[in-house]
């Protein structure tokens, strides 16, 4: 069974989203922030989404304010920023924690399945990316410095219709 089937997260609109609805898709899950040096990566994420969404890619953006207070806004401010500055159309969720006791269950699972450098489970900064295949297996964790466009080839090979 796909681990996402039993998880949910609050969308930016305040509605709960069953993450199981993304089962069968190739996922790129990213903790994002509006005031981070890596924030311009929204462009690359949106480009990947536009390029591959018809082939089964879903990018899920999870705002996080655990790193240098770089996501201070509320849901409306985050939505407005993403829309006006980067024309983001992929699913965005309400602010979550990715580390610590209150880490969202999704991130607890992602970190356990794809530890970082030297086996560390902690997410080190905003724009850490997790690539998940159509079966719900975490394939790889990418450091924040890895730009979305550098992931394109690996991601494309996992798309459902990549025969």
**Residue 82 among the catalytic residues:** no
Helix (H) or strand (E) holding 79: helix 75-86
CATH placement of domain 3-157: 3.40.30.10
Is pTM beyond 0.85? Reply is yes
Distance CA 163, CA 157 (A): 9
More confident of the two residues 71 and 121? 71
Catalytic residue among 19, 30, 36, 45: 36
Tokens describing residue 22:
């993304």
**What integer pLDDT is reported at residue 129 of this predicted model?**
97
Task: Indicate whether 163 pLDDT > 70.
Answer: no
**3: phi then psi, degrees, rounded to nearest 5:** -55, -25
Phi, psi for residue 9 in degrees, rounded to 5: -145, 150
Question: Is a pLDDT exceeding 50 seen at residue 67?
Answer: yes
Question: For a pLDDT cut of 90, what percent of the chain falls above it?
Answer: 83
What are the extents of the domains in the chain?
3-157
Which residues, 6 or more positions from 52, have their beta carbon under 8 angstroms from its beta carbon?
26, 155, 156, 159
* pLDDT mean over 47-70: 96
């Amino acid at each position: 069974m796909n681990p996402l089937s039993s998880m949910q997260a609050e969308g930016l609109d305040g509605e709960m989203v069953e993450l199981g609805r993304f089962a069968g898709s190739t996922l790129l899950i990213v903790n994002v922030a509006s005031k981070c040096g890596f924030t311009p990566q929204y462009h690359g994420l949106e480009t990947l989404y536009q390029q591959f969404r018809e082939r089964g890619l879903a990018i899920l953006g999870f705002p996080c304010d655990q790193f240098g207070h770089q996501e201070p806004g509320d849901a409306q401010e985050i939505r407005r920023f993403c829309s006006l500055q980067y024309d983001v159309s992929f699913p965005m969720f309400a602010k979550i924690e990715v580390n610590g006791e209150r880490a969202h269950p999704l991130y607890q699972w992602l970190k356990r399945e794809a530890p970082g450098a030297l086996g560390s489970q902690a997410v080190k900064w905003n724009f850490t990316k997790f690539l998940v295949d159509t079966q719900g297996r975490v394939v790889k964790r990418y450091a924040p410095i890895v730009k979305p466009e550098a992931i394109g080839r690996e991601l494309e090979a996992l798309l459902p219709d990549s025969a």
